[in-house]
Amino acid sequence: MAKRIDVSGLTAYYGSHKAIEDISMSVEPRSVTAFIGPSGCGKSTFLRTLNRMHEVTPGGRVEGKVMLDNEDLYAGGVDPVSVRRTIGMVFQRPNPFPTMSIYDNVAAGLRLNGSYKKAQLDDVVEKSLKGANLWNEVKDRLNKPGSGLSGGQQQRLCIARAIAVEPQVLLMDEPCSALDPISTLAIEDLICELKERFTIVIVTHNMQQAARVSDRTAFFNLAAVGQPGKLIEIDDTERIFSNPSVQATEDYISGRFG
Amino acid sequence: MDIAPTASAAPQNPPPKDPSGKDSATRPGDRIFLGLSRGSGIALLVIMAAIAVFLTWRTLVALAENEGNFLTTFEWSANADPPVFGIAVLAYGTIVSSIIAMLLAVPVAVGIALFISHYAPRRIATPLAYVVDLLAAVPSIIYGLWGALFLVPHLTGLYEWFDQFLGWTGILSYDGGAPRSLFTVGILLAIMILPIVTNVSREVFKQSPKMQEEAALALGATRWEVVRMAVLPFGRSGVISASMLGLGRALGETMAVATVLSPNFLINVSLLNPGGGTFAQNIAAGFKEAGDIGRDALIASGLVLFVITLLVNGAARLIIARRKEYSGANA
């Protein structure tokens, strides 16, 4: 169910602007990899290239290879829609479908993939909401709109929606930056549970968060504004935060920079 | 000597003396703006009331003279002695032609709006939107002339085809002759309301939140599924409003209908055969030659059109309000 990702020589553009350049890294299955770095260094752009969401932006294009196990996501003939069905994504701001009920939000991905019987859907919805630690809070109001939940609950609803389709990989783009500390803690606990089942990649501005939840950490940086972002180093989280091999990483995490 | 019942507190601290409160409450700009905006609001209500009173009064005058049943009579001889007139045919024709126009125009308009907002590349979308705007700028008499001189002669073939395959339904049977019928009027009205429905829908679709579109994309939705999950639900109330604006125009359209329709006072089961009439068309056709009672009778029919339009708008608001909890406004 969880697959590994191998990225090699990946460069992404917005029109003629090169946003990230020549990034290569591997992400192990059933692990949490955190991306840290200053704003504008291309962490989110890189994350969005992993499920081919980058090319949705007008002018967005990508060069290089992203291998999911042995399948190149950017090979000719690969349908981006089916890539996104196997690689789920959670966004910075909670974005449940406001016109759908809580139940329908979770079931949305399944319904895209084909028709299911009501009982099957009920099972998946319950399992996903339990998986997102939200079931007890919403089980009595599954038919109410998802937009009526609190921000933290909405974000967990979005996680439930993403895991309902049993993706291979779960990408999270600053999932806690719009949440209060208690909701953040709930999401972080959830991430630790989810990594038993999924490969997780998380972008975060919060270095304590990276230290708390991730197994490996990648540090991104850019030489100057307008220059493309680059991967400086990726290593075990413990090492990155105690004894990084590149000076820029140490400067960044110790607050001397960025 | 002090008359105020709360005399004990009053003389000690007179509230208007407070310098800061006085300053902000009586600034001349604020006062002028308040007067202007309040005056505009009151003027609107007064004008509306005056129109309503005028229409009602003339209607009552006309109804007092009417020898027929105003609601069910299939005849309009308001200038005869005694006057006999009824709105049954006009109400039927107005509503049927407008419904035909809505059925034809709304799906096409939503399609064009989606194409412009979500499918077309910008270099196609911009000129296309401009062309749709141009459609709205054409005066209705031009549509009428085009309808009478081009559309009517060219619809015969289509109507014969309808008659051959769908004639058994009754409503789509066709006996030949110039198709100056309610269906032709419906087609013409559909073209006329297309721009307004398209433009309003397009603006609503453009504002659909990017966040939800990305959520749908990330779940593995195709472009159509994104539209279905994140754009159409968000835009639903906007499309209803747009349709109602279009319906309002279709209900009241005068010149184009008067030019195309060959009116009579019969309700024809077939929509394709000539005949029928609408409120606005009947007023335009009869107002010049009408005597006193004739004019009042036409005004009475105008009041009915006014009430129908009000009901349509009220119904639209109900539909929108009922789904408010789920609307995109809560996002």
pLDDT tens digits, one per residue of B101-128: 999 999 999 999 999 999 988 889 999 9
Residue B25 has a pLDDT of: 60
For A51, the closest of B211, B212, B218 (CB atoms) is B218
DSSP string of B279-324? HHHHHHHHTTT--HHHHHHHHHHHHHHHHHHHHHHHHHHHHHHHTG
For A98, the closest of B217, B225, B331 (CB atoms) is B331
Tens digits of per-residue pLDDT, B178-193? 889 999 999 999 999 9
What does pTM read for this prediction?
0.79
Measured between CA atoms, the residue of chain A closest to residue B215 is A95
Give CA–CA dist A97/B211, Å, rounded. Answer: 9
Contact A95 B215 (CB under 8 A): yes
Contact B221 A81 (CB under 8 A): yes
Q: Which tokens belong to A160? A: 């439930």
- Distance, in angstroms, between A54 CA and closest chain B CA? 11
- Distance, in angstroms, between A32 CA and closest chain B CA? 20
Contact B225 A158 (CB under 8 A): no
CB-CB contact of B268 with B277 (8 Å): no
B97 vs B176, residue with greater confidence? B97
CB-CB contact of B132 with B199 (8 Å): yes
Residue B329's pLDDT band, with cuts at 50, 70 and 90, is very low
Contact B219 A100 (CB under 8 A): no
- Distance, in angstroms, between B230 CA and closest chain A CA? 7
User: Which value, in Å, is the radius of gyration of the alpha carbons in chain A?
Assistant: 18
DSSP string of A156-188? HHHHHHHHTT--SEEEEESTTTTS-HHHHHHHH
Residue B248 has a pLDDT of: 87
Topology, domain A5-253: Rossmann fold (3.40.50)
Residues of B in contact with A59 (CB under 8 A): none
Residue B324 has a pLDDT of: 59
User: With 70 as the cut, is the pLDDT of residue B312 above it?
Assistant: yes
Residue B170 has a pLDDT of: 81
Give CA–CA dist B232/A99, Å, rounded. Answer: 10
**CATH 1.10.3720.10 fits domain B90-288:** yes
Q: What percent of chain B has pLDDT over 70?
A: 90
Whether residue A97 lies within 8 A of chain B, CB to CB, comes out as yes
Mean pLDDT across B295-306:
92
What is the identity of the amino acid at A257? Answer: F
Q: Which tokens belong to A167? A: 């993706």
Contact A162 B325 (CB under 8 A): no
Contact B229 A148 (CB under 8 A): no
Chain centroid to Cα B13, Å, comes to: 57
Residue A257's pLDDT band, with cuts at 50, 70 and 90, is low
Give CA–CA dist A20/A46, Å, rounded. Answer: 7
Measured between CA atoms, the residue of chain B closest to residue A172 is B218
Residues of A in contact with B328 (CB under 8 A): 98-99
What is the identity of the amino acid at B11? Answer: P
Tens digits of per-residue pLDDT, A165-211? 889 899 999 999 888 888 888 889 999 989 999 999 999 988 889 99
Mean pLDDT across A75-102:
90
Mean pLDDT across B57-63:
92
Q: What percent of chain B has pLDDT over 90?
A: 40
Query: Residue B149 forms beta bridges with which residues?
Result: none
Q: Nearest to residue B235, comparing CAs of B118, B101, B98, B103?
A: B118
Name B229's Cβ contacts closer than 8 Å, sequence gap at least 6: A97, A100, A108, B212, B216, B221
Residues of B in contact with A165 (CB under 8 A): 219-220
Residue B5 has a pLDDT of: 46
For A88, the closest of B218, B229, B327 (CB atoms) is B218
User: With 70 as the cut, is the pLDDT of residue A14 above it?
Assistant: yes
Q: Where are the domains of chain A?
A: 5-253
Work out the angle between the directed axes of helices B88-114 and B232-252 (0-180°, nearest 10).
140
Mean pLDDT across B302-329:
77
- Total CB pairs under 8 A between chain A and B: 79
Residue A258 has a pLDDT of: 46
- Distance, in angstroms, between A88 CA and closest chain B CA? 6
User: With 90 as the cut, is the pLDDT of residue B46 above it?
Assistant: yes
In terms of phi and psi (left: phi > 0; alpha: psi -120 to 50; beta: otherwise), the region of B45 is: alpha
Tens digits of per-residue pLDDT, B283-293? 998 888 888 88
The mean predicted confidence, pLDDT, of chain B is 85
Count Cα neighbours of B50 within 13 Å in the Cβ-side half-sphere: 6
DSSP string of B45-67? HHHHHHHHHHHHHHHHHHHHH--
User: With 80 as the cut, is the pLDDT of residue A39 above it?
Assistant: yes
The mean predicted confidence, pLDDT, of chain A is 90
B255 to each of B184, B231, B246, B331, how far by Cα in Å?
Answer: 14, 36, 16, 44
Whether residue A150 lies within 8 A of chain B, CB to CB, comes out as no
Tens digits of per-residue pLDDT, B89-101? 999 999 999 999 9
Tens digits of per-residue pLDDT, B215-260? 999 998 988 999 998 899 888 888 988 898 899 889 989 889 999 9
Contact A98 B327 (CB under 8 A): yes
Residue B4 has a pLDDT of: 43
Contact B330 A148 (CB under 8 A): yes
For A97, the closest of B215, B217, B236 (CB atoms) is B215
Mean pLDDT across A17-34:
93
Query: Which residue shows structure tokens 């100057």?
Result: A224
Q: Where are the domains of chain B?
A: 90-288
What is the identity of the amino acid at A235? Answer: D
B57-94 residues labelled b (16+ CB within 10 A) or e (exposed): ebbebbeebbebebeebeebbbbeeebbbbbbbbbbbb
Residue B24 has a pLDDT of: 56
Give CA–CA dist A2/A86, Å, rounded. Answer: 10
User: With 50 as the cut, is the pLDDT of residue B261 above it?
Assistant: yes
Residue A91 has a pLDDT of: 93
Neighbours of A180 (CB within 10 A): 12
Q: Nearest to residue A18, comparing CAs of A80, A74, A64?
A: A64
Residues of B in contact with A97 (CB under 8 A): 212, 215-216, 229-230, 233
Give CA–CA dist B201/B236, Å, rounded. Answer: 9
User: With 80 as the cut, is the pLDDT of residue B19 above it?
Assistant: no
Give CA–CA dist B22/B27, Å, rounded. Answer: 9
DSSP A54: G
Whether residue A1 lies within 8 A of chain B, CB to CB, comes out as no
Q: Which tokens belong to A232? A: 């400086």
A131 to each of A103, A123, A197, how far by Cα in Å?
Answer: 14, 12, 10
Residue B11's pLDDT band, with cuts at 50, 70 and 90, is very low
- Distance, in angstroms, between B117 CA and closest chain A CA? 14
Query: Which residue shows structure tokens 């979500």?
Result: B118
Name A107's Cβ contacts closer than 8 Å, sequence gap at least 6: A116, A121, A124, A125, A164
A205-221 residues labelled b (16+ CB within 10 A) or e (exposed): ebbebbbbbbbbbbbbb
Contact B212 A162 (CB under 8 A): no
Query: Residue A32 forms beta bridges with which residues?
Result: A200
